[in-house]
Amino acid sequence: MSILEAISAKRDGRANTDAQLCLIADGASDGSIPDYQLSAWLMAVFLNGMDDRETADLTMAMAESGERMALDGLPKPWVDKHSTGGVGDKTTLVLLPLLAACGLTVIKMSGRGLGITGGTIDKLESVPGFRIDLSPEEMKEQAREIGLALTGQTPRLAPADKVLYGLRDVTGTVACLPLIISSILSKKIAGGAEHVVFDVKCGSGCFMKTLPEAEELRTGLVEVGQKAGLKVRAAITDMDQPLGHTAGNALEVKEAIRVLKGEPGRVHDLVVHLAGLALESCGAGDKADAASALDSGLALAKARAWFKAQGGDTTVFDSEDWQTAPCIRIIESPAAGYVSKIDSQAVGKLVIRLGGGRKQKSDVLDPTVGVELHVEIGDKVEVGQPLAAIHSSSKIEFEPFIQIAESPVEPAPIILA
């Protein structure tokens, strides 16, 4: 068996065997298969696809390409979550301490943002002192103490995925469902999770623009996840407007803390829904229990313990006077009416221009910049009413991203499916 046989089979539309997929994962992780052959195989998969069996086999092969965290000795259930990402998505910052406050053990690897606003690691790095480089041993010990640990991606877990994802990014093969699914699930399995909740975003501010596309990804994650031995729940959620009121790293951490303190709204509702799915999957409660743990302050206390355990400055919970931008420009409504559209994609592109997101992996982010929204779709506004604030390092010109209509507008629900 050789890599040429695996490439030829997929090039000709035939399925790869489990052995071939293990060969590819091992060769990617140890460097024995050159990039040009891995790239050829990725393009063949992009063009000809994979069935569920192949996707599940690739998922397990990538999970086994490095270490797998053994969570033995930690209280069960062992839970993880994943969002497919979108503008203003600060869900993890609230959901993880909420799940831990409900008695679940949560260990998570998160990534940085690319081509959109910052990822979870970028947001947490805006907090002075916050460590995002925990070793598997440190993660396990911290989870034992407080029920929660998060780190950036480590080469010790699912190293094949890191290599293959890097090649997908430069070969135009990122938008391939089997490769997306196996990439996501392999890291969950390597991290030791038994239960996983997926937040599949749908709309202009994320990767899956339409509901059928999001449904296809949700179905794939659930079915392949189950084949790989995970207990999976998944929701499709709205991303036709930014999630919550902020997009930008420090701004999003500040908003997440406000939600932990009881601020109502779409972020609160989404987090409670996802936590309810996790609790139901584990047989440990339901949505009402999740809402109680959030609204009572238990999740806030857990978040403080989490930040302290990872070296973060916990005074960020007491004041928003940190990581502030020097320039704040208020956008006022040009007309009376109703907010009919907040263009998520335009907001995301603006945050990147401000320096809060990456065009390429080497870009250094400015944690202080971003967009703060004062309205949501459906809100009634008057002439001159503040619609948003642009937080920047200097004055910048931009295209309008909020539209006003004369007639009332009904916003999409946060949970689409």
Domain shared by 115 and 190, yes or no: yes
Domain of 35, in residue numbers: 3-49
What is the rounded (10 degree) CA torsion for 53, 56, 62, 64?
-100
Domain shared by 107 and 213, yes or no: yes
Domain shared by 224 and 287, yes or no: yes
Do the Cβ atoms of 250 and 215 come closer than 8 Å?
no
Domain shared by 251 and 110, yes or no: yes
Residue with tokens 């799940």: 99
Is the per-residue pLDDT at 115 higher than 60? no
Active site residues: 82, 161, 168, 183, 187
Do the Cβ atoms of 115 and 125 come closer than 8 Å?
no
User: Residue 412 domain-assigned?
Assistant: no
Do the Cβ atoms of 132 and 151 come closer than 8 Å?
yes
Q: Can you give the CATH number for the domain in which 15 is found?
A: 1.20.970.10
Q: Which of 23 and 156 is assigned the larger pLDDT?
A: 23
CB atoms within 10 A of CB 318: 9
User: Residue 65 domain-assigned?
Assistant: no
User: Residue 352 domain-assigned?
Assistant: yes
User: Residue 416 domain-assigned?
Assistant: no
Domain shared by 283 and 162, yes or no: yes
- 288, 317, 346: which is the final residue of a domain? 317
What is the rounded (10 degree) CA torsion for 108, 112, 116, 118?
90
Q: Which residues of 15-31 are buried (b: 16+ CB within 10 A; e: fewer)?
A: ebbeebbbbbbbbbbee
At 244-295, the pLDDT tens digits run: 999 999 999 999 999 999 999 999 999 999 999 999 999 999 999 999 999 9
User: Residue 282 domain-assigned?
Assistant: yes
What values do phi and psi take at 212, rounded to 5? -60, -40
Burial of 182 (0-12, 13-18, 19+ CB in 10 A): buried
CB atoms within 10 A of CB 393: 13
Task: Enter the tokens of residue 69.
Answer: 């965290």
At 379-403, the pLDDT tens digits run: 999 999 999 999 999 988 888 999 9
Q: What percent of the chain has pLDDT over 90?
A: 78
Domain shared by 293 and 338, yes or no: no
- 276, 292, 317: which is the final residue of a domain? 317
Q: Which of 9 and 136 is assigned the larger pLDDT?
A: 9
Domain shared by 390 and 247, yes or no: no
pTM of the model: 0.91
Average pLDDT in the chain = 93
User: In angstroms, rounded to a whole number, what is the distance separating the alpha carbons of residues 270 and 95?
Assistant: 9
Band (363; pLDDT cuts 50, 70, 90): confident
At 40-90, the pLDDT tens digits run: 999 999 999 999 899 999 999 999 998 888 898 899 999 999 998 889 999
Is the per-residue pLDDT at 296 higher than 60? yes
Domain shared by 123 and 243, yes or no: yes
Cis peptide leading into residue 400 (ω within 30°): no
Q: Can you give the CATH number for the domain in which 102 is found?
A: 3.40.1030.10
HEC readout, the chain: CCHHHHHHHHHCCCCCCHHHHHHHHHHHHHCCCCHHHHHHHHHHHHHHCCCHHHHHHHHHHHHCCCECCCCCCCCCCEEEEEECCCCCCCHHHHHHHHHHHCCCEEEEEECCCCCCECCHHHHHHCCCCCCCCCCHHHHHHHHHHHCEEEEECCCCECHHHHHHHHHHHHHCCCCCHHHHHHHHHHHHHHCCCCEEEEEEEECCCCCCCCHHHHHHHHHHHHHHHHHCCCEEEEEEEECCCCCCCEECHHHHHHHHHHHHCCCCCHHHHHHHHHHHHHHHHHCCCCHHHHHHHHHCCHHHHHHHHHHHHCCCCHHHHCCCCCCCCCEEEEEECCCCEEEEEECHHHHHHHHHHHCCECCCCCCCCCCCCEEEECCCCCCEECCCCEEEEEEECCCCCCCCCEEEECCCCCCCCCECC
Q: Can you give the CATH number for the domain in which 382 is found?
A: 3.90.1170.30
pLDDT on residue 169 = 75
Domain shared by 25 and 149, yes or no: no
Residues present in the chain in total: 417
Domain shared by 149 and 264, yes or no: yes
Do the Cβ atoms of 106 and 148 come closer than 8 Å?
yes
Domain shared by 166 and 249, yes or no: yes
- 317, 339, 374: which is the final residue of a domain? 317
User: Residue 68 domain-assigned?
Assistant: no
Domain shared by 252 and 367, yes or no: no
User: Residue 90 domain-assigned?
Assistant: yes
Give how many domains the chain has, as a whole number: 3
User: Residue 413 domain-assigned?
Assistant: no
